[in-house]
Structure 1
Amino acid sequence: MLQKAYNWYSKESVKKAIIEVANNREVVSVYKDVTFGKRPDMLQYPADILQAVSEGTIAFHGSIEQWSNPMKLEVGMAKEQLDNIRTGWSVFFDPDVKDFEIAKIVTKTVVEALKDYGVRNYSLKFSGGKGFHIGIPFEALPETINYQPMQKLYPDLQEKITIFIKWYMKDMLKDELIALDSPENLAGRIGKTLNEIIKDDEIDPFKIVNMDIFKSRHLFRLPYSLHESSLLVSLPMKPEDIDKFEKEQALPEKVKVEEKFLIPKAKGDAQFLVVEALDWASKHMIEERGELLKIRQFKRVKLIPEMYFPPCIKRILEGMADGKKRSLFILINFLRNMGWDAENIEKRIFEWNEKNYPPLRANYLRSQLRWHFRQADRILAPPNCENENFYKSMDVYDLCSELHTQGIKNPISYPIRKIAKVDKLKLKKK
């Protein structure tokens, strides 16, 4: 085993690929008896890899987080102390399931969910064991959220993104699993009884698949590391290769170092995902609580027609070439706040989508509508007008420049004020 590991890690391409990802991460050795080496530890140079292997290391696990100096890490550090030395972190998904075909389906569903939110800068690799890892590099995240530097938002934001993606993909994953096999056979594949995967008279995909919430200093197997038990390579790969991938392709003698993992290709393309995850996790609807009260009282009376909508919303309803998914998020929440019911919203959204170039996938529209309508106990507001990630970057902000001078902070405020003005004029005429 040790000789096989030494032969693998002696390859220059392997050492280079591991060091590239290990940079500024805590890296811990794992031995053949699956025990872990001392913490903290790190890899700085290619020679460090062979030195560790000569001391019995089979696998290398690295931290999701990146640090100014990993060797300053200590057990029991307070969050503030960790925040002060954390320089970045990767969004990471590690679906855990015993069946390899199910693992492929889950991985593809996570990837589709990320793509639905505009994320292209993601990485994928075979774990070397039972499944796959999906990661988004730190550079794909926005630099700040609510004036807080992104590096200080771990693990809270990682948790929100994970829970949001699970919620978003739940129905899609359930449909894919049912298409793969019967509920009885799905349970058998993972060593459970049928009752153990059923909730509310239907299968619960997350009783079949586990997707953990990670805390600080969580480790993952580095790309091109061997797996400490199987001795297969933790192999980066392209998403389109998942279906045809077989574990034998990760045998060290068959692997070529080609694909990369968690190496940034572009900046900021996970921004929309972050914004949506935070909006989803939010427990309050809008900042303008006084306006919210008016909306709730008004929408019990009647639906607000489009003639009262602000210019930015009217422009979006004409169809979009860019920013369609952000537009969908805006429109659904705006229309719900305007007193529109589910049937009218769905009809209007599909009419709007026909004007988009190109249109969004119908399945994507339905999944978004379904998710929002399930939030019967609370209605999210559309993002505020000043939100850099929405109206301004979508080139519709300036259409409402006159309204901003009047103190309008959210699109839902405009129809209410306009209707109030009309009602006031009617009273005067009487």
Structure 2
Amino acid sequence: MKRFYLRDDFLSVIEPWLWMREIWFPGTYAPRPLKADGADEFKMLVEKYGVNEPFGLFISVETFRDPFKVGVERPESLRVGWDFFLDLDAEDFEDAKRAACKAVKALAMFDVESFLLKFSGRRGFHLIIPSLSLDIFAPGEFRLAYPMLAEMLARWFAAVINEPNVKVDPSVYKPRQMMRAPYSVHEKTGLVSIPVEDPLRFRAEEAKIEHVKIYELPLKGRVGEAGALLESVREWWSIHGSTEPGLKIISRGKFEETRKLAYRWVEKLMENPVIDGRHRILWLIIAPYLVNVKRLSLEEAEKEAFNYLVKCSQLKPIEGSLNRLVKYYVEYAARTGLKPLSLETLRTKPEYKDLYGIISEALATVSK
């Protein structure tokens, strides 16, 4: 079974889904937590913990600054973002098919196009909505909206689907919740969790390993794409919910303007080159800002980031190819939906103390 997970096409597709996530191999004796920062590290874990019998691959719903620390530190303090994951399970597979079809139609009603529907590997389907599509919150609020918002979404979907024989369990949303990764083998059935376009026509036989073809999967989403959906969920919850969520959701129309204002300081930072911390500034601030806040195309983002690094390198040379460096971090930001660190995070988190000093000095120079 290791051979399936070591296929080049599988490694290419799964790599973006591993970034900043805890991973687990059910059906093996692998411990938790584990992480893999790329395909090579993942291959090493498969070789070490994989077995000959079918075994699964689970990834965390949440993304973390350091997945290795989730066992010793509070997960919410490490959380960067989270995807919404809905498990539609039923004793009768036909019931699950109808439920999945209704869920997809509900998303279409609110113009949500960035989602993944996949076969669970057993008797149901999984629906995943990426974090970037869900984040219409005041800065810093989305990270803290889990698990409350996930539970609200699950209850809303259950009401909309209205299939009494389909299980939707809102209680599963908790810190360190795992979900079956795309193209994971199911450890009990040996079937593959493959993407599904038409659930009503899907047959489980299509998920046998010998029939599976692996294709690239969407991951990024569009910033705030699910705004109208979340507004509907909030209205529904105000009538049917038992508690007030207390989440600061911004109206869809004001979202883009508010997000850009919150990160206006990044534009000021890019006016002044620095001599230290350039890699981390590009990785954690500039690339995520250009791609996921300013919403430039990859080509435009690479051009702006490259111009900034050229100015930095003129003050103190940066080793290696600037083009390759920029391309790597811009594509990483696009794959993961990473948002730039806020000034508040830089100021308050001990691990960013030196970086905050560099940035503060640069911003002070701009202001003079």
Please give the range of the TM-score, normalised by the shorter of the 2 chains: 0.5 to 0.7
Question: Which residue is 1:226 aligned to?
Answer: 185
Counterpart CA distance in 1 for 2:103 and 2:117 is 10
Aligned amino acid, residue 232 of structure 1: L
The alpha-carbon deviation at position 276 of structure 1 amounts to 1.9
Question: Which residue is 1:209 aligned to?
Answer: 166
The alpha-carbon deviation at position 15 of structure 1 amounts to 1.2
CA contact (8 A) 2:27 2:56 kept: yes
Please give the TM-score of this superposition, normalised by the length of structure 1.
Answer: 0.52
Structure 1 segment 74-113 matched on structure 2, within 5 A = 74=71, 81-113=74-106
Residues 256 and 38 of structure 1, relative CA distance in 2, 3 Å threshold? same
Number of aligned residue pairs: 242
Which residue among 205, 217, 223 is the counterpart of 1:260? Answer: 217
Question: Which residue is 2:154 aligned to?
Answer: 162
Structure 1 segment 7-406 matched on structure 2, within 5 A = 7-31=3-27, 37-54=30-47, 55-57=49-51, 58-74=55-71, 81-145=74-138, 148-170=140-162, 205-206=163-164, 208-213=165-170, 214-238=173-197, 241-260=198-217, 263-282=219-238, 388-389=251-252
Counterpart CA distance in 1 for 2:251 and 2:167 is 35
CA contact (8 A) 1:95 1:132 kept: yes
Aligned amino acid, residue 50 of structure 2: G
Q: Matched residues, percent identical?
A: 29
Counterpart CA distance in 1 for 2:7 and 2:118 is 20
Counterpart CA distance in 2 for 1:53 and 1:26 is 14
Residues 31 and 168 of structure 1, relative CA distance in 2, 3 Å threshold? closer
The alpha-carbon deviation at position 168 of structure 1 amounts to 2.8
- SS in structure 1 opposite 2:57? strand
In structure 1, list runs of 5 or more residues that go unmatched.
171-204, 284-374, 376-385, 394-430
Residues 69 and 392 of structure 1, relative CA distance in 2, 3 Å threshold? closer
The alpha-carbon deviation at position 390 of structure 1 amounts to 5.5
CA contact (8 A) 1:29 1:52 kept: no
Counterpart CA distance in 1 for 2:154 and 2:99 is 14
The alpha-carbon deviation at position 44 of structure 1 amounts to 2.0
Counterpart CA distance in 1 for 2:35 and 2:96 is 30
Counterpart CA distance in 2 for 1:142 and 1:17 is 24
CA contact (8 A) 2:21 2:67 kept: yes
Please give the TM-score of this superposition, normalised by the length of structure 2.
Answer: 0.61
Residues 105 and 244 of structure 1, relative CA distance in 2, 3 Å threshold? same
CA contact (8 A) 1:143 1:149 kept: no
Counterpart CA distance in 1 for 2:155 and 2:255 is 28
Counterpart CA distance in 1 for 2:231 and 2:251 is 11
Residues 392 and 48 of structure 1, relative CA distance in 2, 3 Å threshold? closer
Counterpart CA distance in 1 for 2:145 and 2:154 is 14
The alpha-carbon deviation at position 388 of structure 1 amounts to 3.7
Aligned amino acid, residue 151 of structure 2: E
CA contact (8 A) 1:31 1:59 kept: yes
The alpha-carbon deviation at position 253 of structure 1 amounts to 1.7
- SS in structure 1 opposite 2:26? strand
CA contact (8 A) 2:227 2:251 kept: no
Counterpart CA distance in 1 for 2:104 and 2:231 is 18
The alpha-carbon deviation at position 129 of structure 1 amounts to 1.5
Deviations 1:232-254 (A, max 9, x none): 1111232xx32222111111221
Counterpart CA distance in 1 for 2:255 and 2:23 is 41
Counterpart CA distance in 1 for 2:253 and 2:43 is 49
The alpha-carbon deviation at position 56 of structure 1 amounts to 2.9
The alpha-carbon deviation at position 131 of structure 1 amounts to 1.2
The alpha-carbon deviation at position 93 of structure 1 amounts to 0.7
Counterpart CA distance in 2 for 1:387 and 1:225 is 36
Residues 392 and 49 of structure 1, relative CA distance in 2, 3 Å threshold? closer
CA contact (8 A) 1:89 1:138 kept: yes
Deviations 1:149-203 (A, max 9, x none): 2111100111111112222332xxxxxxxxxxxxxxxxxxxxxxxxxxxxxxxxx
Counterpart CA distance in 2 for 1:271 and 1:142 is 8
Counterpart CA distance in 2 for 1:103 and 1:142 is 28
The alpha-carbon deviation at position 59 of structure 1 amounts to 1.5
- SS in structure 1 opposite 2:12? helix
Counterpart CA distance in 2 for 1:217 and 1:136 is 17
Deviations 1:386-411 (A, max 9, x none): 97426999xxxxxxxxxxxxxxxxxx
Aligned amino acid, residue 91 of structure 1: F
Residues 142 and 51 of structure 1, relative CA distance in 2, 3 Å threshold? closer
Counterpart CA distance in 1 for 2:176 and 2:208 is 29
- SS in structure 2 opposite 1:14? helix
